[in-house]
Structure 1
Amino acid sequence: NTPRGHRGSHNGEGMRKGTKAGEGAAREVAAYLLDHGGFAGVPATSLANLTDSVEDDGKLGSLQEYVENTAEAEEFGPSMFPCEEVHKITILDIRLANTDRNAGNILVQSDEDGKIVRLIPIDHGYALPHTLEDVCFEWEFWPQANMPYSDDVKEYVAMLDADEDIAYLRENDIELDAAPERVLRVCTALLKEAVPRNFRAADIASMLNRKMPNRKSDIEKIAAQAASTAIAEGRSERGLLVHKSPENGSFWNDLAGDEVAEKRFMSRFTKLLIDYLDNMVPEHELAAK
């Protein structure tokens, strides 16, 4: 799970911003569990305790089913990939706010004639981060990302429920901190509001990805505004001082530990998100004018 061109930090942060060292195994399992019905094709994955001897307490890791494949996707031109297969991965990645999706962690299966028939996403140790500052999808620039989602994809998105997903993870001993749970809720809401409005994968990726490292994405800005509002409302109702600037680096971080603000955050975020989407024209519609 080493993203290309990135080195680890010495402060507990993972190799992508917003991730933490030691959380990768649980994220691998979470990606499998949240890929309901094998929609995107994440191979079966479970937690495993790796030991050298009986006396050794071992190290927690993840064990993933081996899947026969032709090669990694980076060995092919993206135009060769089936559109529906790419779209399934885009839904998974957006939902998990994947910070490390590149062609090197997608496996390819071909038929007897050499035609690519299936894409298999792997390496999800840097999914479900604590923040949205380093979300990255290589497929954003593939031609399939500018094609409309099928009815099957839209139906799948319609049945997603972040609260049920979080409960399902807990039932399977995958406990996320409050911030990654919030990320899952935010990204699920984004899909559920954007996909029915006919936004395409590239459109949604553009909303999530930073154009420049030090400039927040549109979704980060909306989340920050929602967090600020939720915190201010809660503090005001409790007769506490309302801070005009964040105390922990960002209003997103300030939500941690504030149960009152955390509970109302999503309603504030969803309202702002709907206003944002209703006032945005998808790129393909602009190009058609």
Structure 2
Amino acid sequence: MPWAAGVVGDLAGFVASTYMRGISLIQVPTTLLAQVDSSVGGKVAVNHPLGKNMIGSFYQPQLVFIDVHVLKTLAPREVRAGLAEVIKYGVIHDGDFFSYLEGQLQQILALDEGVLSYVIKKSCAIKARVVEEDEREDGVRAFLNFGHTIGHALEALTFYRNYRHGEAVAAGMVAAAEIAVERGLLEEEEKNRLKKLLDRAGLPVTVPLAADEILSILPRDKKARHGRPRFVLPLALGSVNLFEDVETDEIRAALERCRKTE
């Protein structure tokens, strides 16, 4: 079903991790988002009304089998939603990959198998490298959450019905970039490149909900510390860092700028 991108693998993984204290697991992702993100890394979790992926565990599959041919069965919206996570990898780890995506976007959306194979392999390699260094998110794995702080809030506030996960993350990436620009961490030009690529991909670049609605739910994010949200902010296209000192007024101002943007 179109709303289930990544859900089947997460649910199966969660059951496999708990049944008989763990049974063998093979992931066969059939959406772009699942192929480049949720099937890789060993996080298996399910949502709760209070927040995204609140119930789950770390459980590595024995094998991830990816077939690009199945992507031709997807609705275009599902492909675009998965592309958000691909773009994320370029921002957090590899500026050259981001540039490649700028140049090859139309081929990706047209499901060119050669380009898709490279993009999926590159995305999995980036995530695998991060997870090998930090499996349980004690350090650099948190960088994979770029865009997810606001993104998860948007999903929870709309009861996981209005947004595909990648769509919410896209809006969250723009909001995080806005915070980074205002802090002097990121050049305006690089924020605009990110925003333009997301927009060309057909992904949201605005935040439609009121800032106070989003702020009210951020302390419940499972990655928050002592009630304060943590933000992954870009320093450049290809480099990010984790910040725990982002103030409420900074978040509100960024969200208001994102809401006004046409």
What TM-score, normalized to structure 2?
0.32
The structure whose RCO (Cα within 8 Å, separation 6+) is larger is: 2
- Greater share of helix residues, 1 or 2? 2
